[in-house]
Amino acid sequence: MKQFNKVTIKLVLLLFIGLTTFFLLCPKVQAANSDYVRVKQNELIESDYLQAAQAIQIDGVIRGDAFLSGGVVTINGVIDGDLFVLAGKVVINGTINNNLRVIAGDVTVNAPIGRNALMVCGNCSVSSEATILGSILAVGGNFDLSAITVGRGIRFFGGRLYLNSPVGKEAFVVADKEFLLGPTASIAGNLKYTGSNSLTMEPGATVSGQISYERSTTPDSAPRFFGAKNFLTLYRQVKPVTDVFGFAISALIGFILLGLFPKGFEKVARAIENRPYASFGWGIVILLLTPLIVILFALTIVGIPVSLVLLFLSYLAWIGASYLTAFFLGRKILLARFGERRGWSLFMGLLIIYLLGLVPILGMLLKVLLITFTLGALLLSYKQRVIIEDKGLPAVSDFLAIRRGRGRPKKISTK
């Protein structure tokens, strides 16, 4: 279940980033000058409609698709095409003639959906005034489904599901907390269910096909349907091969970066050596301020794209810092004995980072600690225009001579 939920979360995040990036890049998006945007009851929009605001209310008719992003989105009119919503709260009282795609904290549907519905939400509610002519795919904490009918199947992944609707085909349910079938619920096909508690069927509920139940007793359990358990078993078998292949790809990328930015790797390594306390302090500041800045931007609709860009840049910085950390560790080990061997230093450091990743908790803590030094050193090396380079580092004899006092370091400019 844990592995399956991770996959689900990744898919949700990809959908979230995709929708937000679309709002950011599409040239037709209308930037709202006010916090409230409304399509009036007698208003007709003959094309696709894209809008972002704190509050959006659609009372008119939209002939095309609607792409909406806001704090509160209310649909009282008619949308002939698909509805895509990214919001805090969504209330649908009007007709959606095609598909519904929504990511929100709270979703309430009180109207017909002409085709399929995809809902990713903390709390989802489909009332007895709604109809879903197609299928439902829902991911959320709590989902109450009491629609007049669900024309096709339902797939739910989350915490709690209360199903009180006729379902035209099969139902696949993963509910960690609770799964209840209400008195008017009926499933025309098979029911496959995975959860920590057994299915509760109220009097009147029916399932025409077979009921398959798998109890999730451990965090590592996974649903057997869709072949997920077989895939996970195969993954565990081939994982050593994929790890070696991943390490080779990581090393190749590191060597390319080292070839492109050799002085940058050198500057960061020396910044950690010469100013370790400052590097660690600035690294802590970066780790604390970055999430705070991202959250502050994400609190406003206009700032959501900026927060996503910051997240992407933070991810790149973390990956880059991992390579720099590996170079520093390998250089620290090899320098005293073999002199400056940049390629071998990076390879040795990557191997150490990989081995640390095999240690469950302590290894991760050590990696975070080391990368914290590197993040701070990145900032220091960016500000520092001059680095210290030992004369004749490539030769072991020259390096030993410097250690005995017969050589002096010199300053060189990296401009």
Residues shown for the chain: 415
What is the rounded end-to-end Cα distance, in angstroms, of the chain? 53
3-state secondary structure of 320: helix
Compute the distance between CA of residue 58 and CA of residue 81 in angstroms, rounded to an integer. Answer: 14
Q: Considering Cα of 226, then 229, then 233, then 239, what sign does the dihedral take?
A: positive
Residues in CB range of 262: below 8 A, 6 or more apart:
342
Instruction: Output phi, psi for 147, to 5 deg.
Output: -65, 160
- Chain-centroid distance of CA 266 in Å reads 33
Global model pTM greater than 0.95: no
Question: 156 forms bridges with which residues in the sheet?
Answer: 138, 173
Q: What is the pLDDT along the chain (415 residues), one digit of tens a residue?
A: 444 444 444 444 444 444 444 444 443 444 444 578 889 988 999 988 888 788 899 999 999 999 888 788 999 999 999 998 888 899 999 999 999 998 888 899 999 999 999 988 888 999 999 999 999 999 888 999 999 999 999 999 888 999 999 999 999 998 888 899 999 999 999 999 988 888 889 999 999 999 888 887 544 444 444 455 566 666 666 666 677 777 788 788 888 888 888 888 888 888 888 888 888 888 888 888 888 887 877 776 566 777 788 888 888 888 888 888 888 888 887 776 666 778 888 888 888 887 777 777 777 888 888 888 888 888 887 766 544 444 333 333 444 444 444 444 444 444 4
Cα 374–Cα 377–Cα 379 angle in degrees, nearest 5: 120
Beta strands per DSSP E along 59-111: 61-62, 66-75, 78-79, 83-92, 95-96, 100-109
